[in-house]
Chains A and B, each alone.
Chain A
Amino acid sequence: MTGININKNSVILAVLVVLLLLLPMAVTKPYYLHVIIICLLWAYLASSWNIIGGFAGQLSLGHGIYTAIGAYITVILFNTFGLSPWLGLFVGGGAAILLSLVIGYPTFGLRGAYYALATVAISEGIVVLLNNTGSIGRFTVGGAEGLIVKMVGNSAVAFQFNSKIPYYYIVLIMVFLIIFVAKWLKESKLGYYLVALREDEDAAAAMGINVRRNKLIAGAISAFFTALGGVFYAMLIRYLEPNAIAGAGMSTQMVFLAIVGGSGTVLGPVIGGILLALISEIIRFYLGGQLMGLHLFIYGMIVLLMIIYQPRGIIELFEKIGQRFSRKHNDEGGRSGAEDPSGA
């Protein structure tokens, strides 16, 4: 990369960051800001899934259990002991890591399809458990009625704000964090191990890579960040309902967004998450009240067509545009065609 190219990219990046930071000033209606927050949360969750699903190629279809375990443990600790969610999220995240290891140990020994099916069954089982557990000892879990976060008013320590703006900045930081983590991971030794075992497990093992261990590490990282997303969701919505936070909808949505955006890339899931969640919200807004099932039907069709016509993800479209842009730039001088094709 030449100096010109870096400058151009960093200028674009800086403009983007400033625009994002100033966004709440332009968007004054809480509903619109809420939609933006939800889109960013989905971008974050899709990126968290991408660590195990995209980089390591292990198709987890039950990531809802990690959002659930993070959210439930944080909220239960807060409701029972008044423990600040900022501390509770580490307990929730730690529990998610533990859970991912327990599930991953037997299943990662097997190839992709098995892992996918196992994650579906395990997550469905956990949804049933959550729906039927009213309380464990003195801890209220809520069962099918759901669990309400105890309200304490506007309090930063309790992760409760009357305005949507703090939530916006928190989720924005989370998205930047996960992009940073993904970028770091992709360029780290672990990232290369993961790509190797994704492409050919036997060859990777023959090269001396401990396949199961690296899958477990990637799974644990992914579970931890997914759990943080669950905590944010809990504090934003302030109500946990087992089917919403742990159900198949949550789990498959993450996968949809990541794959439609471009799995295995750093920015693909972010782009996919924002765009698709936005489309979904718009369709729901305009068509939700009409014919039953119509908005989900259209949503399903959009995903279907995107997978057929853009199987490598939306990120590929962005890259093509980017390449054309830099090629034009090329004629004016400066070798800038060597952009990272993975979209990092």
Chain B
Amino acid sequence: MGFLSVVANGLSMGAIYGLIALGLTLIFGIMKIINFAQGALLMLSMMISYWLWAATGLSPYILIIIVAPIMFVVGYLCERVLIKPVLDEQKDVREPVSVLLLTAALAIVLENLALMVFGADYVMAKTSFSDVTIAFGPVMVSAARFYGLMIALVVAGLFYLFLMYSQTGRNLRATGQDRNAASLMGIDITKTYAIAFGIGTALLAVAAVALIPFYYVHPSVGQVFMTKAFIVVVLGGLGSVPGALLGGIIIGLIESIAAQYMTATLTVILVYAVFLLVLFVKPSGIFGSPYEW
């Protein structure tokens, strides 16, 4: 594989990492909660997408319009039913640790629920383009990954515009900056939190749909992406939207380029090494403010 093709593959995977990290960083930026169920919710999205694909035979990408709303509702309800009561209890605490543990427990519940319902099998949506490779001059990239990259970039762009220019987006940002001031300006904080969690989860649905044509789904698939999403948000700066995407692409590129020169294990270790290096040199990440958290 030519070097440019390697870069293209890294970009596509990195953009999807970015998308997953985007949800994580959004939820953290606004609610100050690290969502440990992010990986499990990704797995849930992938499972739903896969079974809808298997049942309907539609192109996985069309399924976004079904899966994203489903996951939005799932996220919205998770916040309302599970997180809100605990958050209310800990109103005076700056960093709601119990909520974090709650999401970790939710991850255990979801993963084992999936294990009970779907079993431990590895499944993948074998679409007509799963084995197709597209060539742009010397650059060869698998079709599924290329479409995934496009979807991730478009959705991230749309999300950015939504956050910057829509009223809901402004509410979200205002709440992230100062919860009390936003509340005084007439923003319904309770609703905004639930929306933030819902959107953070819906972004996972997009990542899931982009992933299933070339990535195996199984109950613990979320854990793989979870740790990477953590690394990505720390790299990019916790709470930073452009940072999440950029961090994702950096990790994707490191993985694919390093894999050309070293074993898979060393590649994984290299990713952690880069992460540690950033942590030591600029702990707040690329776009993070050192005074923010």
Are both chains from one complex?
yes
- From residue A37, how far is it (CB to closest CB) to chain B in Å? 24
- From residue B104, how far is it (CB to closest CB) to chain A in Å? 6
- From residue A100, how far is it (CB to closest CB) to chain B in Å? 15
Contact status A114-B98, CB under 8 Å: no
Closest to A119 in B: B230
The interface-forming segment of B46-54, B84-92, B201-209 is B84-92
Contact status A113-B293, CB under 8 Å: yes
Selected from A107, A128, A300, the residue in CB contact (under 8 A) with B109 is A300
Residues from chain B with a CB closer than 8 A to the CB of A109 are 283
The interface-forming segment of A5-13, A158-166, A176-184, A302-310 is A302-310
- From residue B181, how far is it (CB to closest CB) to chain A in Å? 19
Tell me if A296 counts as interface (CB < 8 A to partner B): yes
Contact status B108-A303, CB under 8 Å: yes
**Which of B89, B105, B269, B284 lies at the interface centre, i.e. has the most chain A CB atoms within 10 A of its CB?**
B105
Contact count A vs B, C-beta below 8 Å: 131
Contact status B82-A113, CB under 8 Å: no
Residues from chain B with a CB closer than 8 A to the CB of A121 are 227, 230-231, 234, 272, 275-276
Contact A297/B113 with A121-B234, A121-B272, A311-B98 known, Cβ cut-off 8 Å: yes
Contact status B116-A297, CB under 8 Å: yes
Contact status B272-A128, CB under 8 Å: yes
How many angstroms between the C-alpha atoms of A256 and B293 in the bound complex?
A: 24
Closest to B83 in A: A308
Q: Number of A residues contacting the other chain (C-beta, 8 Å)?
A: 44
Q: Number of B residues contacting the other chain (C-beta, 8 Å)?
A: 50
Residues from chain B with a CB closer than 8 A to the CB of A200 are 94
Residues from chain A with a CB closer than 8 A to the CB of B154 are none
Contact A292/B97 with A113-B293, A297-B109 known, Cβ cut-off 8 Å: no
- From residue B288, how far is it (CB to closest CB) to chain A in Å? 8
What 0/1 pattern do residues 118 to 154 of A give for CB contact below 8 A with B? 1011101100110110000000000000000000000
Contact status B265-A120, CB under 8 Å: no
What 0/1 pattern do residues 240 to 262 of A give for CB contact below 8 A with B? 00000000100010011001000
Tell me if A291 counts as interface (CB < 8 A to partner B): yes
Contact status B276-A300, CB under 8 Å: no
How many angstroms between the C-alpha atoms of A122 and B234 in the bound complex?
A: 12
Tell me if B279 counts as interface (CB < 8 A to partner A): yes
Contact A114/B265 with A121-B231, A259-B97 known, Cβ cut-off 8 Å: no
26 pairs from A and B in contact (CB 8 Å cutoff)? A59-B97, A106-B279, A106-B283, A111-B293, A112-B97, A113-B28, A120-B230, A121-B231, A121-B234, A121-B272, A125-B276, A200-B94, A252-B104, A255-B101, A256-B101, A256-B104, A291-B116, A292-B119, A294-B116, A297-B109, A297-B112, A300-B108, A304-B82, A304-B102, A307-B101, A312-B89
Sample of 4 more A-B contacts, CB < 8 Å, known A106-B280, A114-B284, A122-B276: A57-B97, A59-B97, A293-B111, A307-B101
User: Would you list the 7 A-B pairs with minimal beta carbon distance, nearest first?
Assistant: A293-B115, A125-B272, A300-B108, A293-B112, A300-B109, A297-B112, A111-B293
A residues engaging B (CB < 8 A)?
A: 57, 59, 106-107, 109-114, 116-118, 120-122, 124-125, 128-129, 131-132, 200, 248, 252, 255-256, 259, 263, 291-294, 296-297, 299-301, 303-304, 307-308, 311-312
